Amino acid sequence: MNFPHCTDALEYAEKIVSKEILACQHTINACKRFLSDLEKSQQKKWPFYFDSEAAEKAVNFIELMPHTKGRWAQKNQTLKLQPWQKFGVCNIFGWKKKSDDKRRFTEVYWKVPRKNGKSALAAAIGNKMFVADNEYGAEVYSGATTEKQAWEVFRPARLMAHKSEEFRERFDIEVNAKNLCVLSDGSRFEPLVGNPGDGSSPSCAIVDEYHEHDKDELYETMVTGMGAREQPLMLVITTAGSNLGGPCYEKERDAIKVLNGSIEDERLFVLIYGIDDDDQWDSEEALIKANPNYGVSVSEEFLLQQLAIARRSASKQNAYRTKHLNQWVGAKTAWMNMLAWQRAKKKIKIEDFLGLECHLALDLASKKDLAALTFLFKKGNKYHTFAKYYVPESAVLENDKYQEYQNSGHLTVTPGNMTDYDFIKEDILQAYEDFDVRSTAYDPFQATYLVQKLMEEGVESLVEYKHTVLNMSEPMKELEGLILDGKLFHDGNPCTTWQMGNVTAKLDIKENIYPNKEALYDHRCKIDGVVAMIMAMGRWMQDNEDDGGLDDFLADPVII
- 189-193, 270-274, 524-528 — which is least confidently predicted? 524-528
- Rg of the Cα trace of the chain? 27
Q: Which amino acid is it at 503?
A: V
Other Cβ atoms closer than 10 A to 186: 11
Please state, in angstroms and as integers, the Cα–Cα distance from residue 99 to each residue in 49, 94, 96, 103, following that order: 10, 15, 9, 11
Q: Which helix (H) or strand (E) holds 42?
A: none
Higher pLDDT, 551 or 341: 341
For residue 133, give Cα distances in angstroms to 61, 86, 233, 265: 11, 18, 11, 23
Task: Spell out the domains of the chain, with CATH numbers in brackets.
Answer: 4-272 (3.40.50.300), 341-559 (3.30.420.240)
In the chain, the percentage of residues whose pLDDT exceeds 90 is: 71
* pLDDT-wise least confident of 67-76, 348-357, 492-501: 67-76
Q: Cα separations (Å) of 215 from 193, 246, 272, 336?
A: 13, 6, 22, 22
Per the CB < 8 A criterion, the answer to whether 463 and 442 are in contact is yes
In sequence order, the β-bridge partners of residue 373 are 362, 388
Is the pLDDT assigned to residue 98 strictly greater than 80? yes
Q: Which of 230-239, 364-373, 473-482 has the lowest mean pLDDT?
A: 364-373
Tell me what the mean pLDDT of segment 300-321 comes to: 85
State the alpha helices, DSSP H only, in 296-396: 300-312, 314-324, 338-343, 393-396
How far is residue 27's CA from residue 56's CA, in Å, rounded to a whole number? 22
Q: Give the whole-angstrom CA distance, residue 296 versus residue 327.
A: 21
Q: Which has the closest alpha carbon to 517: 357, 365, 322?
A: 365
**C-alpha atoms less than 13 angstroms from C-alpha of 99 in its C-beta half-sphere:** 4
| CA dihedral of 7, 13, 16, 20, whole degrees rounded to 10 | -30
What average pLDDT does this structure show over 316-321? 84
On the question of pLDDT at 522 being above 60, the answer is no
- pTM higher than the cut 0.75: no
> Three-state SS for 190?
strand
Asked if 68 contacts 157 with a C-beta cutoff of 8 angstroms, the reply is: no
Q: How far apart are CA 454 and CA 436, in angstroms?
A: 16
d(CA 212, CA 323): 13
Residue-by-residue DSSP string for 213-257: -SSSHHHHHHHHHGGG-SS-EEEEEE---S-TTSHHHHHHHHHHH
Asked whether residue 142 carries a pLDDT value surpassing 70, the answer given is yes
N-terminal to C-terminal alpha carbon distance within the chain: 85
For residue 246, pLDDT beyond 50: yes
| 8 A C-beta contact, residue 354 and residue 377 | no
Helices 528-544 and 469-484, interaxial angle, to 10°? 90
pLDDT tens digits along 185-222: 999 999 998 766 666 789 999 999 999 898 888 898 89
Band of the pLDDT at 518, cuts 50, 70, 90? low
| Spatial contact of 234 and 107, defined as CB atoms under 8 Å apart | yes
